[in-house]
Amino acid sequence: MKLQSQLVSYLLLGLIVVGLSMGIYEWGIPLIQKSQIRSTINDIQSQLTSLAETIPSVVQSRGSQTVTLNLPEGSLNIYNNLIQYSFQSPAIYYNPSISVIPINYNYYTYIPCNVNNSISIPSSGYNSIQLCGIPDLIVKVNSSNIIIQDVNNNTLILPLANTNNVITQYFDFNIEVQNNNVLFIPQYNTGIAGSSYYPECLLSATQLSGVIQYQVACRPMYNPQNRQCEWIIIEPTGETSTTTNGNSINVNLQYNGLNIINNPNSTVCNQLVYYYVQASIV
């Protein structure tokens, strides 16, 4: 019942915040080009979706797998927790005004955070803001602490210092303290474990002028029933950059262990398990 309630709240918030997603695809494409571009884009998306789905499979098997890609002329790069492919599109395919285009997950489950999440440090008392414009996600700051009150009524108290990977119900934040201000930088939407609506590793796209950039990244997942969280981290190893030209390129994925963190910096996790997957171009 609790899991169903969490799913409903996620979906409703996604619908309210994101709204209708009309106009994301085939943005301004002349009719004569649509068929050819659509076929190319669909093929790229299918291959990269398969890559994203293989990463959790490697963790489950504690083994290794190799994914073969045949991508148009462009560049493929592996970074920390990120696999990125970019190519020059003959036309503007995606709506360039939308910064993140979900590919292997539903648009209404993606919650954007485009507001200013900066709060000044007061000399006395507290200052507070709504993080990402969400009414029940409140952060308070005083001269020594950062206090996060989440939508689930849980509270996290942190020292006034830089802190990475603070996991809340809807977002994972990096916190930077500088120039008498505290800045909350959203990294990923938090996913719900065990739900097909929320894949662990996400494929998204961004239209950068004439270049389309695809990104595969994994995000924290939490189980609202037992408050355990998991996060797959992609580790670059060996060859991590290459150009593509339609020929076969193999990406090897190798399980590389785990790390268990008890009482992590989170309003939803009592325990966080990091799973590491090495990725290389072979």
Binned at pLDDT 50, 70 and 90, residue 107 comes out as confident
The SS3 of residue 128 is: strand
| Mean pLDDT calculated for residue range 92-108 | 89
- Taking Cα atoms as reference points, which of 234, 8, 260, 17 lies closest to residue 132? 17
| Mean pLDDT calculated for residue range 138-147 | 97
- Is 22 a residue whose pLDDT tops 60? no
- Taking Cα atoms as reference points, which of 186, 282, 172 lies closest to residue 236? 282
Distance CA 170, CA 135 (A): 13
Find residue 171's DSSP bridge partners: 189
Radius of gyration of the chain (CA): 20
- Is 8 a residue whose pLDDT tops 50? no
For the chain, the average pLDDT equals 90
Distance CA 61, CA 125 (A): 51
Distance CA 167, CA 14 (A): 18
Binned at pLDDT 50, 70 and 90, residue 108 comes out as confident
Q: Which residues, 6+ apart, have CB-to-CB distance to 64 below 8 Å?
A: 58, 252, 253, 254, 255
Comparing 35-44, 137-146, 202-211, 219-228, the range with the smallest average pLDDT is 35-44
Domain coordinates of the chain in residue numbers? 22-109+199-281
Strands (E), 32-154: 64-70, 74-79, 82-88, 101-102, 118-120, 127-130, 138-141, 145-149
The model's pLDDT over 252-264, given as tens digits with 9 standing for 90+, comes to: 999 999 999 999 9
| Mean pLDDT calculated for residue range 181-185 | 97
Comparing 113-117, 122-126, 218-222, 228-232, the range with the smallest average pLDDT is 113-117
- Is 24 a residue whose pLDDT tops 80? no
Q: Burial, 218: exposed, middle or buried (Cβ in 10 Å; 0-12, 13-18, 19+)?
A: buried
Neighbours of 261 (CB within 10 A): 15
- Is 186 a residue whose pLDDT tops 90? yes
The model's pLDDT over 70-89, given as tens digits with 9 standing for 90+, comes to: 999 999 999 999 999 999 99
Comparing 4-8, 81-85, 119-123, the range with the smallest average pLDDT is 4-8
Q: When comparing pLDDT for 29 and 126, which is higher?
A: 126
What local confidence, expressed as pLDDT, does residue 106 receive?
84
- Is 21 a residue whose pLDDT tops 90? no
- Is 11 a residue whose pLDDT tops 50? no
Phi, psi of 43 (to 5 degrees): -70, -45
What local confidence, expressed as pLDDT, does residue 129 receive?
96
- Is 28 a residue whose pLDDT tops 90? no
Binned at pLDDT 50, 70 and 90, residue 15 comes out as very low
